[in-house]
Structure 1
Amino acid sequence: MNAITITTKGQITLRKELLQHLGVHPGDKISFDKMPGGEIRIRAVKPKGNISDFFGSLKREGQRPISIEEMNDAIAKGWAGQL
């Protein structure tokens, strides 16, 4: 049995092996579900969404979309040291 001490602020720290078992890393989220009998189930929260949700997220205000040809031209100039 792995006992965890509760701080005066009501906080706990999960041991590294438990976090590894959940497959979580700093910045990830976990959820707690109350179960009957005073038990709690802890699960890793998996991100939801599609790759299409990311599209346009790097676009700056007022910036027009650029074409594939413009991207390829910029890449070629970059590799040639012309930028």
Structure 2
Amino acid sequence: MAESTMTSKGQTTVPAEVRAALHAEPGTRLEWHVTPDGDVIVRAKNLSILDLAGSVKTDKCVDIEDMNPWSS
């Protein structure tokens, strides 16, 4: 298990093995989530939604309102 220490300014260094596993490079944004039971999930945001453009081929068009699962 990797660990790091937090400074008085709230900063820490992400351990090298974690950076390698996440393919994190300088400038990679980290997204932090605290679960109801107190666990912390950290995700590296190293892809933009724009990076996925064109990755799925389809002729189907969907209205934005139809994408909202809470509408209807």
Deviation of 1:37 (Å):
2.2
Task: Tell me the alpha carbon deviations over residues 12-55 of structure 1, each in whole angstroms, 9 at most, x when there is no partner.
Answer: 1111110111111112222111112221101121211147xxxx
Higher helix fraction (1 or 2): 1
Deviation of 1:2 (Å):
2.9
Q: Aligned with 1:19: secondary structure?
A: helix
RMSD between aligned residues: 1.8
- In the alignment, what sits opposite 2:20? 20
Instruction: Say which one has the larger Rg.
Output: 1
Pair 1:47 & 2:48 matched: yes
Aligned identity (percent) is 29
Q: Which protein has greater RCO, CA pairs closer than 8 Å, 6+ apart? A: 2
Q: Aligned with 2:37: secondary structure?
A: helix
Q: Aligned with 1:17: secondary structure?
A: helix
Q: Aligned with 1:20: secondary structure?
A: helix
Q: Aligned with 2:20: secondary structure?
A: helix
- TM-score of the aligned structures, taking structure 2 as reference length: 0.58
Higher strand fraction (1 or 2): 2
Count of matched residue pairs: 51
Q: Aligned with 1:41: secondary structure?
A: strand
Aligned partner letter, 1:2? A
